[in-house]
Homo-oligomer: A and B are copies of this chain.
Amino acid sequence: MSGAAETSELYELIRLIRPVHRRLARAVEAKLVGTGISVGMRAVMEVLDEAGATSVPDIGRALFLARQQIQLLVNDLEKLGLIGRHPNPAHKRSPLFALTDSGRTQFGEIRAGEDADIALVSKRFSSAEVAAAQQVVCALLDHFAEFEDDPNRPRGLE
């Protein structure tokens, strides 16, 4: 095993984050043209597909976004019939939202199209390389949470 990485190596990785974020967003957007689904709406569908019925604030926490932002996306998704609301046993005013059959079908098609592209890249790398990338990026996410004034974080004593 080689020694600790140089700071400059990680810095070069960080410099790639903004451009790659823009390009991924564009790629996702390109596959959504004509569906009436935005990138944000797709992100909410992703959470619901993975976690099942979820409240608006919890979706926000999963996506590191403010609940106000999520509320708008959820409203749009409900209008399109892609998600539906269900009683929340834990909170009378805050319903749970889950994908409808239509929503699940459409999201599956979207994901299948995306995976076709992702597979082209993933096959060029070993499992270990992708895993390392994920761990490093995840560490960045954790470390730089210190500057986050997350409006959704559960408030303890303060």
Min Cβ gap A11→B in Å is 6
Q: Is A92 an interface residue (CB 8 A)?
A: no
Min Cβ gap A136→B in Å is 4
List residues of chain B with CB within 8 A of the CB of A29. 147
Q: Is A24 an interface residue (CB 8 A)?
A: yes
Interface residue from B25, B117, B133 paired with A137 (Cβ < 8 Å): B133
For the residues of A in contact with B, the DSSP-based class is helix
- Interface residues of A toward B: which range? 35 or more
Q: Is A26 an interface residue (CB 8 A)?
A: yes
Task: Decide: A127 and B16 in contact? CB cutoff 8 A.
Answer: no
List residues of chain B with CB within 8 A of the CB of A15. 46
Closest B residue, CB atoms, query A139: B121
Contacts A26-B147, A132-B133 given: A141-B19 contact, CB under 8 Å? Answer: yes
Interface residue from B3, B18, B64 paired with A127 (Cβ < 8 Å): B3
Interface residue from B1, B16, B119, B140 paired with A138 (Cβ < 8 Å): B16
Residues of A near any B CB (own CB < 8 A):
1-7, 9-27, 29-30, 43, 46, 63-64, 114-115, 117-141, 143-148
